């Protein structure tokens, strides 16, 4: 876990709370609950997801607990950023090829549902929120390049930690840091039904 915190400190910023604990229980069904300063994980989740589950718990301390939602339509933002930080751990611990393999697998899922436009509360619990949202963050990294992308993460977190942020807030910081008009990019990834292709590198 110290290596995970070191990565988060590098790519986002200092850990936002004075402590952190992980509780592991023997529940047979997959279960994960990420609260402020506390993650509760079942053995089933650890078996299925391993270190990625632990990293996700830490990631949601930053995005989800320190930076909260402005409204329910912004859930994609928390799931996208928190989930993608877990992907970064896969990249760091297993290499870029492992990340590319996972992205390719997820791109084959049925994700033709816009993550930032849920019609009902039921629509907040679907694969688009959990997989297309971090895929959108990955696509943004590909679009901006690592230097501007990680500057975006630092800037967004520093500006909104301890408060709430909206999709519009995130887009505004992304355009501020990149110096680009990203309207078409975010429209395709967040609001159009069809999953767009990843940007060319």
Three-state secondary-structure class, residue 33: strand
Average pLDDT over residues 28-37: 80
Contact 28, 38 (CB under 8 A): no
Residue 122 has pLDDT above 60, yes or no: no
If one compares 46 and 55, the residue with the highest pLDDT of the two is 55
Sign of CA dihedral 138, 167, 31, 128: negative
pLDDT of residue 49: 80
Q: How large is the greatest C-alpha to C-alpha distance in the chain, in angstroms?
A: 49
Contact 60, 10 (CB under 8 A): no
pLDDT in tens, 80-105: 999 999 999 999 999 999 999 999 99
pLDDT in tens, 138-161: 999 999 999 999 999 999 999 999
Contact 89, 52 (CB under 8 A): yes
Do β-strands 32-35 and 38-42 pair in parallel, antiparallel, or remain unpaired?
antiparallel
Mean pLDDT of the chain: 91
Domain 2-191 class, CATH top level:
mainly alpha
Cα angle for residues 146, 52, 79 (degrees, 5° grid): 65
pLDDT of residue 200: 74
Three-state secondary-structure class, residue 122: helix
Task: For residues 18 and 93, give the distance between their C-alpha atoms in angstroms, rounded to a whole number.
Answer: 26
Contact 111, 135 (CB under 8 A): yes
**Considering just the CA atoms, what is the radius of gyration of the chain in Å?**
16
Scanning the chain, the segments in alpha helix (DSSP H) are: 2-11, 43-49, 51-62, 75-94, 96-107, 127, 133-144, 146-160, 167-178, 183-186
Do β-strands 67-69 and 163-165 pair in parallel, antiparallel, or remain unpaired?
parallel
pLDDT above 70 covers a percentage of the chain that reads 95
Every domain of the chain and the residues it spans: 2-191
């Amino acid at each position: 876990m110290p290596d995970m915190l070191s990565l988060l400190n590098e790519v986002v910023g200092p850990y936002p709370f004075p402590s952190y604990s992980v509780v592991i229980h023997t529940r047979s069904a997959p279960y994960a609950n990420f609260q402020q300063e506390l993650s509760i994980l079942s053995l089933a989740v650890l078996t299925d997801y391993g270190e990625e589950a632990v990293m996700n718990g830490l990631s949601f301390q930053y995005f989800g607990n320190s930076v909260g939602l402005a409204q329910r339509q912004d859930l994609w933002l928390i799931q996208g950023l928190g989930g993608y930080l877990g992907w970064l751990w896969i990249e760091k611990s297993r290499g870029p090829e492992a990340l590319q393999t996972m992205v390719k697998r997820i791109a084959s899922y049925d994700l033709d549902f816009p993550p930032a436009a849920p019609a009902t509360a039921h629509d907040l619990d679907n694969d688009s929120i959990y997989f297309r949202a971090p895929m959108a963050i990955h696509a943004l990294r590909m679009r901006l390049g690592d230097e501007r992308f990680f500057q975006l993460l630092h800037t967004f977190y520093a500006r909104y930690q301890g408060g709430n942020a909206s999709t519009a807030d995130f887009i505004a910081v992304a355009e501020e840091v990149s110096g680009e008009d990203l309207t078409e990019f975010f429209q395709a990834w967040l609001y159009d039904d069809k999953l767009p292709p990843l940007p060319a590198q």
